[in-house]
Structure 1
Amino acid sequence: MPPLLSSADVIAGHDTALVTPPVAVQANDLGGWIAVNHFHNRSLWAQEDLARRTLAADAEIVANKRAIDRHNQARNDAIERIDEVLLSALGLVDAATLANARLNSETAGSMLDRISILGLKIAAMREQTLRGDVDDAHRQACGERLQRLVQQRADLGNCFDELLADSRAGRAYFKVYRQFKMYNDPQLNPALVAESK
């Protein structure tokens, strides 16, 4: 079985990406889908910040909200692709062969998505610790939060690594859980259905 990415590899890739402006990427392998997911998380983060402006024109906020929906859909699609690629690489496509394995309630792709988001929180909180326009109490409080976020990401990374190890050993498995984001579907969102009549 080929080696899979460890959480340390993923975290390093996320952190490296954060030092440059986000650029849309194409995926054709596990690393590519992880990068796609991280790109859409970064884009969502930026759009969420913009959507909370209080002095922006309504049309700008509407544009932000629509961008949020697009990025969120793409983010979830990437999570599903990550899970598909990992399950294939682990030989777990047929879960019927795993009668003695426990089903993990969270997928590996969802864990990597959370690791990505924690990376964004860490970067943003680190910026707060470096601000010159706030007092020491603000920087100290943010420094304490930063330490907690770093620990949370490390803990989640360990859980991801353990899930993959347990999956390889036949002790655990996960499934691809389809998100079925109904709000983006013109046939399932009641407001969009009503608009089309």
Structure 2
Amino acid sequence: MFSEFAFNIFNTSIEKYHIKDDVYQNFENPYSKDDIEHLLYRKNWIDTVQWHYEDIIRNPDINPNDALVLKRKIDASNQDRTDLVEFIDSYFLNKYKSVEIKPSATINTESPAWAIDRLSILALKVYHMKEEATRVDASMEHKEKCQAKLNILLEQKKDLSLAIDQLLSDIENGTKYMKVYKQMKMYNDEELNPILRGNK
């Protein structure tokens, strides 16, 4: 199933990141640029680094100048994340371009790649909640609460994985069809953001 295939790649990325656990470490993609694995690994690496950016920026003692720099990094990371989602959707569009769409076919509320984006974030939640549920310096109460949350996340992973695999199967069978809307973000565009436009 594609969902399990993707989840395993996400875990590989997460585990590799945590060897150094440093947002400024060098990124190396172990997969060929021609493979979907390359996009999935890159996607999750972006999510993993941003996860830790979000931790750092919540430090109440952070220097305001450092916080501003970090906010810019988070903005850039969000743009990279959206770009990767579109690349992954392009992969699926190409893969299923020859499928004969049935007259009764319906469209899904989100594209495959945006569902896979949620799976990537979920992989991070599972990893870090598992850390908390087994933390040696935490109280038993803390670990029990985190284990309960982890159980819910694992159930969510099961449900989301099933939904992704069903969606891909339906697209492959022509009972669902893909329609991808390219990003319409306005805040990074100097022509659409009035603040940026005023600073030109």
Instruction: Indicate whether 1:57 and 2:63 are aligned.
Output: yes
* 1:132 to 2:148 alignment: no
- 1:72 lines up with 2:78 in the alignment: yes
Q: 1:131 to 1:175 in 2, by over 3 A?
A: same
Describe the shift of the 1:27–1:86 C-alpha distance in structure 2 as closer, same or farther (beyond 3 A).
same
Query: Where does residue 106 of structure 2 map in the other structure?
Result: 102
Question: What letter is aligned with 1:185?
Answer: D
Give the Cα separation in 1 of the matches to 2:76 and 2:28: 13
Structure 1 gap ranges (5+): none
User: Which runs of at least 4 in structure 1 moved beyond 6 Å after TM superposition?
Assistant: none
**Same amino acid, percent of matched pairs:** 32
User: What is the Cα deviation at residue 132 of structure 1?
Assistant: 2.5
Cα distance in 2 for residues equivalent to 1:166 and 1:47: 37
Cα pair 1:36 1:75 within 8 Å, conserved: no
Distance change (3 Å), C-alpha of 1:185 and 1:98: farther
Which is worse superposed, 179-188 or 78-87? 179-188
What letter matches 2:7 in structure 1?
A: I
Residue equivalent to 2:52: 46
What's the CA shift for 1:186? Answer: 2.0
The answer to which of 21-30 and 165-174 deviates more is: 21-30
**Other-structure match for 1:14:** 10
Check if 1:183 corresponds to 2:187: yes
Residue 29 of structure 1, CA deviation: 3.3
Match of 1:29 in 2: 35
1:18: Cα distance to partner?
Answer: 1.4
Structure 2: distance between partners of 1:107 and 1:73: 18
Question: TM-score when scaled to structure 2?
Answer: 0.88
2 CA distance for matches of 1:48 and 1:99? 45
Which runs of 5 or more residues in structure 2 are unaligned?
A: 18-24
Aligned residues: 190
CA contact (8 A) 2:14 2:44 kept: no
Aligned equivalents of 1:69, 1:92: Cα separation in 2? 37
Distance 1:75 1:166 in 2: 26
C-alpha contact 1:73 1:181 (8 A) present in aligned 2: no
How has the CA–CA distance of structure 1 residues 16 and 42 changed in structure 2, closer, same or farther, with 3 Å as cutoff? same
Q: Partners of 1:42 and 1:14 in 2: how far apart?
A: 9
Cα RMSD, aligned residues only: 1.9
Tell me, in whole angstroms, the C-alpha distance in 2 between the residues paired with 1:61 and 1:28.
37
Partners of 1:49 and 1:171 lie apart in 2 by: 42
Cross-structure match for 1:119:
123
